[in-house]
Amino acid sequence: MKKRVAIIGMGFGGIRAARALAGSGHDIVLADRNNYHLFQPLLYQVATAGLEQESIAHSVRAMARHWPGTRFHLGEVTGIDLDTREVRTDNGIIPYDYLVIGAGSCTNFFGLDSVEQHSFDLKELADGESLRNHILTAFERAVNEPDLSRRRALMTFVIVGGGPTGVEFAGALVELIQFVLAKDYPELSVHAARVVLVEATDRLLAAMPEKLRTYTLRKLRSMSVEVLLNARVVDAGPERVVLHDGAVIPAHTLFWSAGVKASPLSSGLGVTPKAGGRVPVQPDLTLPGHPEVFVIGDMAYLEQDGVALPMTAPVAMQMGSYAGKAILAREAGTNLSPFMYRDKGSMATIGRNAAVATAFGLNFRGYLAWLVWLLLHLYYLIGFRNRIVVMLNWVWYYWFHERQVRLITRREAGQRH
């Protein structure tokens, strides 16, 4: 019998679930508050003027054309009624027989209001453009700033969080400054610019083996990123960042990538949330007591071998495929074996010819890891045209040390809020 399946969120998990279910004869509704799938892992390159925002997003309706039986619902989910089996959005109601929730995560400021108010993060597409505009505007303001210490503060960028996003953003930003902006602003002493990476623990890329962590730290420092370990940001203003020990860094830009938490949707599902506000799920990714509701990706809390699965794109993708297949199996009268995450490795790029990666129990670093990083990101990017545009930008940058998208496209307020 034809069933109605609603999928909330067109992130890495949601689109894998949609693909698994497309053409199965069921009625699939794809819901998202945006009309595109965002390739978030490259958002930091939009923020550092390396990519145009359009090249890392792909229209959901363009994808849905190839997925028989699906239709798209643009709307922000305002509530889920588990009893009547209805999803409410600001654009209507979606009744369902099965529901797949993959609404992802948002930034966790851990209650630091002043930091939330004065910092940038990278979750939505427009965040990349806003941060790029802010960075470039800071340099333009520095040109006209006669006071030397204020000028240096305009050219100081504090990045919080030594995970992949923080490391990749720090590397891309310092290269933007040294390779590109140094030539754009002959009137500034660009070597006076500071990129400060603040990490609360004693290590960068905590999930990586020690050898790669050491390489990352050494590499970033040799690119003149100031890495502060065992340091925490506790307060911020429009022109300063305060550390746990009282140190004040004069800085006009604060980028926060020190934590995420599950989408607020997780709180309405009638279960006690786990770490990061995540929803504890059954081994088949269903909500306890609701075998018709699957929770996937960053919103799901599931332990494997005694450890919670990380909030990453590969986990979301595998969960999405599993949820889609599980629904098909259920309708065919069978059951899948419990979800099992297959860790294919992880990676982070630091700069030109420099990345770290683990795969198949092996460690890679330097040029080879960097090349693999490029190829895998191109592979997972959706849309053939997008791949060509992104590759073109990368080749351009590699050969000419040029990032073409250094445009201030909107005159935004000095800080985000």
For residue 290, the minimal CB distance to its own copies (Å) is 27
Among residues 4, 19, 27, 34, the one that binds its own copies under rule CB under 8 A: 34
**Of 218-226, 261-269, 314-322, 382-390, which segment contacts its own copies by CB under 8 A?**
382-390
Residue with tokens 């792909």: 58
Nearer to its own copies among residue 52 and residue 298 (C-beta):
52
Catalytic (active-site) positions: 168
Counting contacts by CB under 8 A, is residue 55 touching its own copies?
Answer: yes
Counting contacts by CB under 8 A, is residue 148 touching its own copies?
Answer: no
Among residues 202, 409, 414, 417, the one that binds its own copies under rule CB under 8 A: 409
Of 14, 55, 54, the C-alpha closest to 32 is 14
Among residues 77, 80, 125, 279, the one that binds its own copies under rule CB under 8 A: 125
| Count of positions on this chain that bind its own copies (CB under 8 A) | 45
Nearer to its own copies among residue 194 and residue 403 (C-beta):
403
Nearer to its own copies among residue 139 and residue 256 (C-beta):
139
Which residues from 177-196 bind its own copies, rule CB under 8 A?
Answer: 183-187
Contacts from 378-386 at CB under 8 Å and sequence distance 24+?
A: 380/39, 380/313, 381/39, 381/42, 381/56, 382/15, 382/37, 382/39, 382/58, 382/63, 383/58, 383/62, 386/39, 386/55, 386/56, 386/58
**Of 2-10, 136-144, 171-179, 287-295, which segment contacts its own copies by CB under 8 A?**
136-144
**Of 54-62, 216-224, 293-301, 351-359, which segment contacts its own copies by CB under 8 A?**
54-62
Among residues 24, 45, 48, 53, the one that binds its own copies under rule CB under 8 A: 53
**What is the b/e burial string over 207-235, where b = at least 16 CB atoms within 10 angstroms of the residue's CB?**
ebeeebbebbbebbeebebbbbeebbbeb
**Helix 384-400 × helix 367-380 angle, to 10°:** 150
Nearer to its own copies among residue 184 and residue 235 (C-beta):
184
Among residues 71, 218, 221, 344, the one that binds its own copies under rule CB under 8 A: 71
Identify the bridge partners of residue 240 per DSSP, sorted by sequence position.
Answer: 237, 250
Counting contacts by CB under 8 A, is residue 62 touching its own copies?
Answer: yes
What is the rounded CA–CA span in Å between residue 167 and residue 348? 8
- φ/ψ bin of 213: left (φ > 0), alpha (ψ from -120 to 50), beta (otherwise): alpha
Residue with tokens 């509701």: 293
Nearer to its own copies among residue 35 and residue 230 (C-beta):
35
Of 300, 298, 326, 295, the C-alpha closest to 311 is 298
Of 138, 135, 128, 120, the C-alpha closest to 47 is 128
Which residues from 87-106 bind its own copies, rule CB under 8 A?
Answer: 91-92
What is the rounded CA–CA span in Å between residue 240 and residue 176? 22
What residues make contact with its own copies under the rule CB under 8 A? 34-36, 52-55, 57-59, 61-62, 65, 71, 74, 91-92, 125-126, 129, 136, 140, 143-144, 183-187, 383, 385-386, 388-389, 392-393, 396, 402, 404-410
